[in-house]
Structure 1
Amino acid sequence: MLGVHFAITSEQERSLLAADGDGDTVAELLEEIEESWDDDALKVDTDKAWDAIHRCLTDGTLDPDGGVYPLSHAVLGGRHLHDDYYVVYVSAAEVRDVAGALRGADRIWLRRRFDAIDDPGYDGAHDGGDFEYTWDNFVDVQAFYDRAAAAERAVIFTAT
């Protein structure tokens, strides 16, 4: 699954929250967001690195409830809007908290967390190259959250 974060507009936020529980409508809204997106500064693609990033920021698993807020909300923590795939909503206030917490994570800290992943469900190579891939994407996520917080936007993370 490929992951993408979007810092959504307040109109998109209202529509998605109103559709919560209606998978078809959420899917349609997400498709509209993806197709019409034109602001690369308020979007970040993490390819498959989102998996390792979430594990590093939480308890080493893909459990959306794993770990401690606010780091747990950078990828899978938050309000899940779809049952069949990830569409995870984080409010603008939570985005500010996540951005602040991510600023405290440096390369050494992330490497320790990456090396500690001990979940047989992790599909990555779990080697130096995999860490570099994770780190590069993590830096992009840090910068994205800073921009989203500055823009006072809510965020949705999707993986399909």
Structure 2
Amino acid sequence: MSCLGVLFAVPEDVVRKLGDIPLEERPEYISEELEEEYFEEYPERTYELDKSWDAMHRLLTDGTLSFGGEEPLAKAVLGGDVLYFDEDHDDYIITAKTPDEVRKVYEALQGLEDSEIRRRYFAIPADEYEDKGEEDYEYTLEYLQDSLSFWRYAAEHGLWVLFTADQ
């Protein structure tokens, strides 16, 4: 999947508003309202994962691109409440993590050593992830490490985290 991923640290009222929007309109709300507002007014509450989210999720879970996995690491990307996903079109994903889940994700990510991240990345089955290799590992590692300040901010401020990916 070659979608671009973004994390947003938001207050609960944003998650409630998103939940009140009809399902088919949620991607438009994210791309036309939330992204514009957060990138301009709250840069400390946004973190662009680019395409690294795919490998990142796989290495934090069982190597597959599914919504499940062992918590709390499985909550970092695709985990949490699925607010939007269309299996037929695979065009957009929105998930939400509670402040408690955010805190647990941050603590778990903070405890991961580079050697463990490397082991997990290279354990991803090659038939599951075609971009696997040293260059992609370095790219994914950089985004994962750089995301820690975002996760710390969200955890310290008791915010929810939305993950979004679009094509």
TM-score when scaled to structure 2?
0.88
2:129 is the alignment partner of 1:122? yes
Query: What is the deviation of 1:10?
Result: 2.7
Mapping for residues 47-58 of structure 1, pairs under 5 Å: 47-58=50-61
Aligned to 2:89: none
What's 1:92 paired with?
A: 99
* Alpha-carbon contact 1:61-1:119 (below 8 Å) kept: no
Q: How big is the shift at 1:119?
A: 4.5
CA distance in 1, matches of 2:139, 2:45: 21
User: What is aligned with 2:113?
Assistant: 106
How many Å separate the matches in 1 of 2:14 and 2:4?
Answer: 21
The equivalent residue for 2:36 is: 35
Q: Once the two structures are superposed, what CA deviation does each residue of 1:50-88 show, in whole Å capped at 9, x if it has no partner? A: 0010001000001111x2111000000111111332101
Distance in 2, matches of 1:83 and 1:3, equals 14
CA contact (8 A) 1:60 1:119 kept: no
Where structure 2 has 5 or more consecutive residues not aligned to the other structure, the ranges are 87-91
Cα distance in structure 2, aligned partners of 1:115 and 1:83: 28
For 1:68 and 1:119, the matched residues in 2 are separated by 21
How far the C-alpha of 1:44 sits from its partner, in A, is 0.7
Question: Which of 3, 9, 12 pairs up with 2:11?
Answer: 9
Structure 1, unaligned runs of 5 or more:
none
Determine the structure 2 residue equivalent to 1:74.
Answer: 76
Q: Which residue does the alignment assign to 2:26?
A: 26
**How many pairs were matched up?**
156
Is the contact made by 1:9 and 1:153 (CA closer than 8 Å) also made in structure 2?
yes
**Do structure 1's residue 140 and structure 2's residue 143 form an aligned pair?**
no
* 2:158 aligned to which of 145, 152, 156: 152
Cα deviation, residue 17, structure 1: 2.5
Question: What amino acid sits opposite 1:10 in the alignment?
Answer: E
Q: Which amino acid aligns with 2:49?
A: T
**Given the superposition, is the C-alpha separation of residues 35 and 123 from structure 1 closer, same or farther in structure 2, using an over 3 Å criterion?**
farther
CA distance in 2, matches of 1:34, 1:56: 27
For 1:100, the aligned partner's letter is E
Looking at structure 2, the residues matched to 143 and 119 of structure 1 have their Cα atoms a distance apart, in angstroms, of 30
Alpha carbons 2:63, 2:128 under 8 Å: kept? no
2:8 counterpart letter in structure 1: F
Aligned partners of 1:151 and 1:17: how far apart in 2? 22
